[in-house]
Amino acid sequence: MATAPPAQSRDLRKALRLRHLIMLSVGGTIASGFLLASGGAIALAGPGVVITYIIAGLVSIGVMGCLAELSVRGYTAAGFAKYAEDTMGPLIGFLTGWNYWLAWVVGPAAEALAVATFASALPPFHNIPIWLMAFVVVTLDLAINFTGVLTMGNYEFVLSTIKVIALIVFAVLCLSAVFGIGFPAIGTTNLVGQGGFLPLGGAGLFTSFLLVFYAYTGIELVSVSAEESVNPARDVPRALMGTAALVTAIFVVCSIAMVGVVSWKTLGTSSSPLVDAVNAIHQQGFSTVLTIAIIIASITGIDAGIYTGSRMLFALSRASYFPQRASLTSQRSKVPTMALVITGLCLYIGVIADVVSPKLAYIVLGSLSTLGFLWAWLMIPIIQIIYRRRMSPQEVKEMQWRLPLFPLIPIACIALIAVAIIAPIFQSTPGIGPIDAGALPVVAGAIWMAIWIGYYFAYGRRLRAAAEASAADSGDVVVETSAP
């Protein structure tokens, strides 16, 4: 007598194509880290922030090149966390995955409040509480993720395409005003006439590096989606490199457009610098359109965060670092339901924390989110160097995708990421008590790491060992492998 299939499994559905991977990554990257925080970066560096965006863009292309080489070795939802485990052991693999999950939980929580804040500027939403709009946005994106990865991918593709088009139109309008095409020519006054191109010198570029670098984080999520890709061997490297190039081009051109039409001295984070730039060239009609596009951009960032966070939690649970229940997937939609529920609940908690104590929550949660992304970007080139060093010349020759200029590119990426971590420490920005805001990512990160190292040795490794022993007795496999 045949038995009914189980209601749940640990399999994910292969449904994402190249266009989905690119726009999912674009959705996770182009969000308030650029649309709002670019004003803060410009205030720190002046027009010369364009140089910082170019440097950070080159770093992002280099890091994604390292990750592309790693990604063709295997396709799991653990992404680079699995590669970290393979090269540096279970503890580093666990911390890499867990820190990355954290980054995609606390970041989208702040993003939800950014969406609500931007929406409150539009007449229909003037009288709706910020926290309520944030809850609605999180709930909407959570519901989209529950419907299935293909629906989520199509949703992300459409919304991300809208925001890319809006940013292209923004750049065209502002640069037209600079060069006097259809507008009175602004010229180079704002670029070099407000204290020069580098009014704050090299120190300004140095201190702006973290804000600029943080805007690029999110591209790497493609490696987490590899297990749900139709053709990961071909599409994942293309998506990583294509997204890095696209985002770099958008950020560099839009930053030139911003500082070309508005004095760097007037830009900050109290409003979107893009909207300020459009208003400066008297395009109030497009200003409303751009505000809607910025809202859409932030919504796609939340959606990408829920997707990526849930998949990383799913992968950590499937690898037996957490109870196996979080690795179960729906038989119908193949989404990790419990991992989605847990990730969604944590986003709600993050929104509440931001509402109850806005300044404290923003500083602490923002610092932890920064830690998660910086750790991931630092680990990727280190892992790539270790992998390549272990390979024979023949194995390197036969690789499906190989990073050029090895080891120069990963070493340069490691050095510049270290600069991004160190630079804010030299700022005198108010933080918590005696700890400046620039040092908080390091301090908060050290505390967070200490807690989870304790968890790993007290509980995590024993849970994994017990699952491995049980799997050995039953003939099952519970630990992810890197093989395709």
Alpha-helical segments (H) within 262-400: 273-280, 284-318, 337-356, 358-390, 393-397
Query: What phi-psi label fits residue 334: left (phi over 0), alpha (psi between -120 and 50 degrees) or beta?
Result: left
Give the whole-angstrom CA distance, residue 477 versus residue 471: 6
Give the whole-angstrom CA distance, residue 102 versus residue 448: 10
How many residues make up the chain in this entry? 484
**Band of residue 324 on the pLDDT scale cut at 50, 70, 90:** confident
Is the pLDDT confidence value at 479 over 50? no
Residue 281 is predicted with a pLDDT of 94
Contact 358, 335 (CB under 8 A): no
Mean pLDDT along residues 2-25: 75
Q: Which residue has the higher pLDDT, 480 or 193?
A: 193
Q: Which residue has the higher pLDDT, 184 or 75?
A: 184
Mean pLDDT along residues 451-472: 86
Q: How many CA atoms lie within 13 A of 423 on its CB side?
A: 24
Give the whole-angstrom CA distance, residue 259 versus residue 277: 8
Give the whole-angstrom CA distance, residue 118 versus residue 261: 22
Residue 126 is predicted with a pLDDT of 85
Contact 305, 31 (CB under 8 A): no
Residue 6 is predicted with a pLDDT of 41
Give the whole-angstrom CA distance, residue 97 versus residue 127: 40
Residue 284 is predicted with a pLDDT of 86
C-alpha to C-alpha distances, 477 to 51, 179, 473, nearest whole angstrom? 49, 63, 10
Q: How many CA atoms lie within 13 A of 343 on its CB side?
A: 38
Residue 484 is predicted with a pLDDT of 36
Per-residue pLDDT of 262-316, as tens digits, reads 999 988 766 789 999 999 999 988 988 999 998 998 899 999 999 999 999 999 9
Q: Which residue has the higher pLDDT, 208 or 176?
A: 176
Mean pLDDT along residues 450-456: 93
Residue 202 is predicted with a pLDDT of 87
88's enclosing H/E stretch is: helix 80-88
Check the CA dihedral 131-136-137-142 and report its sign. positive
Please, which residues bridge with residue 432 across strands?
435
Give the whole-angstrom CA distance, residue 348 versus residue 106: 10
Give the whole-angstrom CA distance, residue 53 versus residue 437: 22
Per-residue pLDDT of 14-49, as tens digits, reads 999 999 999 999 999 998 889 888 998 999 899 999
**Band of residue 452 on the pLDDT scale cut at 50, 70, 90:** very high
The pTM (predicted TM-score) of the whole model is 0.91
Residue 2 is predicted with a pLDDT of 36
Is the N-terminal amide bond of 123 cis, ω within 30° of 0? no
Q: Work out the mean pLDDT of the chain and round it to a whole number.
A: 88
8's enclosing H/E stretch is: strand 8-9
Residue 116 is predicted with a pLDDT of 86
Which residue ranges form the domains of the chain, and what is each CATH number? 8-474 (1.20.1740.10)
Q: Which residue has the higher pLDDT, 73 or 416?
A: 416
Give the whole-angstrom CA distance, residue 242 versus residue 22: 7
Q: The tokens of 461 are what?
A: 């490794």
Residue 419 is predicted with a pLDDT of 87
Q: Hey, how many other C-beta atoms are within 10 angstroms of the C-beta on 451?
A: 10
Report, in this order, helix, strand and coil percent for the chain, each rounded to 5.
Answer: 75, 0, 25
Residue 421 is predicted with a pLDDT of 83
Give the whole-angstrom CA distance, residue 186 versus residue 168: 19
